[in-house]
Homo-oligomer: A and B are copies of this chain.
Amino acid sequence: MSTTINRQIHLVSRPQGEATASNFKLVEAAVPELKDGQVLVRNHFLSLDPYMRGRMNESKSYAAAQPLDAVMIGGTAGEVVASKNPHFAVGDKVVGMAGWQEYQLVDADQRGVLQKVDTTHVPLSAYLGPVGMPGVTGWYGLTQIIAPKAGETVVVSAASGAVGSVVGQLAKARGCRAVGLAGGADKCAYVVDELGFDACIDYKEHKDLKSLSGALKAACPDGIDGYFENVGGMILDAVMLRSNAFSRMAFCGMISGYNGEPIPMLNPSLILVNRMKLEGFIVSEHMELWPQALKELGTAVATGKLKYRETIAQGIASAPEAFLGLLKGKNFGKQLVKLV
């Protein structure tokens, strides 16, 4: 058997401020022989997600830093191409956490390391998006923290993205008014026309807090009852100014502060004045709810009720630039890298 070459992207240095392509390096490695219990997966899709930026830093976070000179972490979806494990056969479609590489050799008996998925009604790539971690993230924050009642107004930032698009569509399905924030007229049009949100604000058109707060007032005439936070910074401040008594905020990401100094919250006394609840969460800490979430999300995708969009970069070598683009909002919907 000829040696299979596995191309990988390693993190080789930590960003000073903004992440750059020089933080990454393309490395070639030979795939070793399979041992008993192991499975070789050829990855078809690599998931790129904002949380990866946090892992590049040395600083205290909820998860260990990504080690230097090792394969960047990340979710993957692919196909079994060789197996010495009775639970997996060649041709099985699987999702895992192989990271930024073309192949994964995995001890498949470890619980949860590899999940078989059914691609009859749901495309393989969707298991990295609306029927995967981003979808469950949106589901969790909306249903477990915001917990909206019909008729309430739910706002979500990064509304055209993999998480935000799910939040708004699930809110609409629960009888809420869904209002998005996104960067650019094309993303906003997509959020309203294709995803069915009631309104979407192009935050790039609002240079200061007063302007953005005014746009939110117009889009949310009854105030804001729930906010799904993907961004932080001025958007958070503007939403707080329009938040109703007993409103809830799910803190999922604060991408605007990933590159440097923390961005303050201007008026925390509104938490008291409006008796707000703010809660941060990491979806991987709530695995007990994934089956329930994935059932709703999978059915909604399979029946066409939950729409999503993907931006697909081609080939492992394109992963660093695609990731840097994601951090700047250049993607439109879920950012993937296609490896086959």
Contacts and interface: CB of A to CB of B under 8 A. Distances in A.
Nearest to A254: B269
Interface in A280-309: 280-282, 285
A254 B271 CA distance: 10
A236 interface: yes
B232 A269 contact: yes
Given A266-B262, A276-B279, A277-B277, A271 B245 contact: no
A273 B280 contact: yes
Nearest to A255: B269
B275 A254 contact: no
A2 interface: no
Given A62-B245, A277-B279, A278-B277, A268 B264 contact: yes
A126 interface: no
Interface of A: 60-62, 229, 232, 236, 245, 251-254, 257, 262-282, 285
Given A275-B282, A280-B274, A268 B60 contact: no
A281 B275 CA distance: 5
Contact of A265 (B61, B264, B282): B264
A200 B62 CA distance: 29
6 contacts: A62-B273, A253-B272, A254-B269, A254-B272, A264-B268, A277-B278
A278 B274 contact: no
A265 B280 CA distance: 15
A55 to B, nearest CB: 12
